[in-house]
């Protein structure tokens, strides 16, 4: 199922620009305070419940005092030890999201019923307690008798028994309701965001004496103002919003100059390079460090592509030239044999056939050497290669030593090299064969270890290499012995094979003869 979901997202995921993604991230970060407003609603509900809990605690205390002060109240039972007391916290029932908001509390019905005398007397005795309590809690306290008639507070002598919270209290159950308040006057500009700014909590608490409800305490209070602090700090909030906006503008510019614009420029440059024109753009100094590294790597890649493209172009031209000469010779000889073959002498036919065979042999040799060069160019470094230099040198010397060529070896013990033995054999064979074909009669192979390299030097006593030709020795198809069948690919193949193992070959200046030095890295 997860795999199917991933495939669905891959098929339908929109193509987004980097600037769009970054803009969305920044806007989301800027909108986080707005999302915090949703949680303020939850906090506001918690404040309302806290107000209800305070009214419950205040009513419980005053109803307990009223019950003790009631005439004829039985003496309080003996208090149990603290270890045996059972405490049960009375919960709250108000929720701004689900509790209905009732109309403003009415003044009450006019009634001919006289207020209970005992309730009036208790209300007078409790007046100092109620006065000091309301001065601190700012709650309104109304006391009713057992019939719901007001004996203390707003609406003296009126009947409030029809109110749902009073009816519940007269049955012995505390109740809380939410009611609108008409005297509400908006003081702060942000109060329209608050759901609790226009309501008032009304809590009815029964006064129980001897198991019977003797009266009711009806308390009301507005919940705590949620946005009062926001309004009072509106200047600071506006300043903070402005700072956040400026920071977003600065961050957007920073991201644009450091990420998006350099990537767009690099994308255009890569398209131009792919089309065959254009060059690597200059690395922007304002870009991020990773983007600058990407520019530098792109410049290296672009240079390598240009160099490789030039190499392939020159290589194709050289191959065309090298193949054209023997093919032209073969074509000309075949045409002459077709037109004048019957009138030619046996010696002339044999000479033309020998030319065709020689050109064909040269073509075959060129194809073989080109395959060798392709394999050398495709060679990759081998892992954990370690070869002893003495063994491949000995095999090459034993195979090439002859009466017309003297080969001497000066090979002190060295550490193993990180080059395959086969590569060492191919390189030494190429160098010694070139010396033989150049007319040398003596070749010396020597080696020495220098730091983390083994330097192998091949020196001969041949005619040497002209200074003008030394710079082109490793170019494909460059040879001074084309008439003798040279292809000019031997040194190119040797150089490519060595490069695959991070080794190098160079032609050193020398007064007489030719000197080649091969640098082989040591095996780790």
CATH code at position 66: 3.30.450.20
Per-chain mean pLDDT for the chain: 79
In the beta sheet, which residues pair with residue 392? none
Q: Are residues 462 and 514 in the same domain?
A: yes
Q: Are residues 398 and 257 in the same domain?
A: no
CATH code at position 476: 3.30.565.10
Tell which of 197, 213, 232 closes a domain.
232
Q: Are residues 148 and 207 in the same domain?
A: yes
Tell which of 316, 341, 364 closes a domain.
316
pLDDT in tens, 428-454: 888 888 888 888 888 888 988 888 888
Alpha helices in 89-233 (DSSP H): 117-137, 164-170, 228-232
Q: How many domains does the chain have?
A: 3
Q: CA–CA separation, 480 vs 350, rounded Å? A: 29
The predicted pLDDT at position 85 comes to: 60
Q: Are residues 308 and 430 in the same domain?
A: no
Alpha helices in 99-255 (DSSP H): 117-137, 164-170, 228-232, 234-255
In a domain, 356, yes or no: no
Tell which of 275, 292, 316 closes a domain.
316
Q: CA–CA separation, 194 vs 258, rounded Å? A: 43
Q: Are residues 205 and 66 in the same domain?
A: yes
Report the percent of the chain where pLDDT is more than 70. 79
Q: Are residues 123 and 220 in the same domain?
A: yes
The predicted pLDDT at position 347 comes to: 82
The predicted pLDDT at position 176 comes to: 93
Residues 6+ apart with CB under 8 A from 78: none
In a domain, 80, yes or no: no
Q: Are residues 207 and 297 in the same domain?
A: no
In a domain, 337, yes or no: no
Q: Are residues 212 and 309 in the same domain?
A: no
Q: Are residues 243 and 203 in the same domain?
A: no
The predicted pLDDT at position 166 comes to: 93
Q: Are residues 55 and 165 in the same domain?
A: yes
Q: Are residues 505 and 474 in the same domain?
A: yes
Tokens of 305: 């592509």
Q: Are residues 174 and 248 in the same domain?
A: no
In a domain, 160, yes or no: yes
Q: Residue 404: is it exposed, middle or buried by C-beta count within 10 angstroms (0-12/13-18/19+)?
A: exposed
Q: Where are the beta strands (DSSP E) in 269-336?
A: none
Residue range(s) defining the domain that contains residue 293: 239-316
Global model pTM greater than 0.85: no
In a domain, 207, yes or no: yes
Segments of the chain with pLDDT less than 50: none
């Amino acid at each position: 199922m997860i795999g199917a979901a991933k495939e669905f997202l891959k098929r339908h995921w929109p193509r987004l620009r980097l600037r769009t993604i970054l803009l969305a991230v920044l806007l989301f970060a800027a909108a986080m305070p707005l999302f915090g407003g949703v949680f303020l609603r939850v906090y506001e509900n918690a404040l309302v419940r806290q107000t209800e809990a305070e009214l419950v605690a205040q009513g419980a205390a005053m109803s307990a005092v009223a019950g003790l002060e009631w005439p004829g109240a039985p003496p309080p039972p003996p208090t149990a030890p603290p270890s045996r007391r059972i405490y049960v916290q009375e919960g709250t029932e108000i929720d701004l999201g689900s509790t209905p908001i009732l109309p403003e509390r009415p003044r009450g019905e006019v009634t001919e019923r006289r207020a209970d005398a005992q309730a009036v007397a208790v209300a007078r005795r409790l007046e100092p307690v109620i006065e000091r309590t309301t001065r601190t809690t700012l709650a309104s306290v109304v006391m009713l008798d057992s019939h719901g008639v007001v004996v203390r507070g707003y609406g003296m002598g009126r009947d409030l028994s029809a109110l749902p919270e009073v009816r519940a209290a007269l049955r012995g159950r505390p109740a809380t309701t939410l009611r609108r308040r008409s005297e509400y006057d908006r003081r702060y500009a942000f109060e329209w965001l608050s759901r609790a700014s226009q309501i008032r909590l009304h809590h009815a608490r029964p006064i129980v004496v001897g198991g019977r409800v003797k009266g009711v305490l009806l308390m009301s209070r507005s919940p705590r103002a949620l946005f009062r602090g926001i309004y009072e700090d509106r200047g600071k909030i506006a300043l903070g919003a402005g700072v956040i906006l400026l920071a977003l503008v600065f961050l957007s510019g920073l991201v644009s100059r450091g990420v998006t614009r350099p990537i767009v420029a690099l994308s255009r440059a890569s398209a131009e390079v792919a089309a065959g024109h254009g060059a690597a753009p200059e690395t922007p100094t304002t870009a991020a460090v990773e983007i600058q590294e990407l520019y530098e790597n792109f410049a290296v890649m672009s240079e390598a592509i240009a160099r490789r493209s030039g190499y392939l172009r020159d290589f194709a031209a050289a191959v065309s030239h090298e193949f054209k000469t023997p093919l032209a010779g073969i074509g000309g000889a075949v045409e002459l044999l077709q037109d004048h073959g019957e009138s030619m002498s046996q010696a002339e036919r044999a000479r033309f056939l020998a030319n065709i065979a020689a050109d064909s042999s040269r073509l075959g040799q060129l194809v073989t050497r080109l395959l060798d060069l392709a394999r050398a160019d495709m060679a990759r470094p081998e892992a954990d290669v370690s070869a002893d230099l003495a063994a491949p040198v000995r095999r090459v010397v034993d195979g090439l030593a002859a009466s017309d060529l003297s080969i001497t070896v000066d090979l002190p013990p060295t550490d193993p090299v990180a080059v395959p033995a086969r590569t060492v054999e191919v390189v030494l064979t190429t160098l010694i064969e070139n010396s033989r074909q150049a007319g040398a009669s003596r070749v010396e192979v020597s080696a020495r270890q220098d730091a983390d390299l083994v330097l192998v030097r091949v020196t001969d006593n041949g005619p040497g290499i002209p200074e003008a030709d030394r710079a082109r020795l490793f170019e494909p198809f460059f040879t001074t012995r084309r008439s003798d069948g040279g292809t000019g690919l031997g040194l190119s193949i040797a150089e490519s094979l060595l490069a695959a193992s991070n080794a190098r070959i160079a032609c050193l200046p020398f007064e007489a003869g030719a000197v080649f030095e091969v640098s082989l890295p040591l095996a780790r």
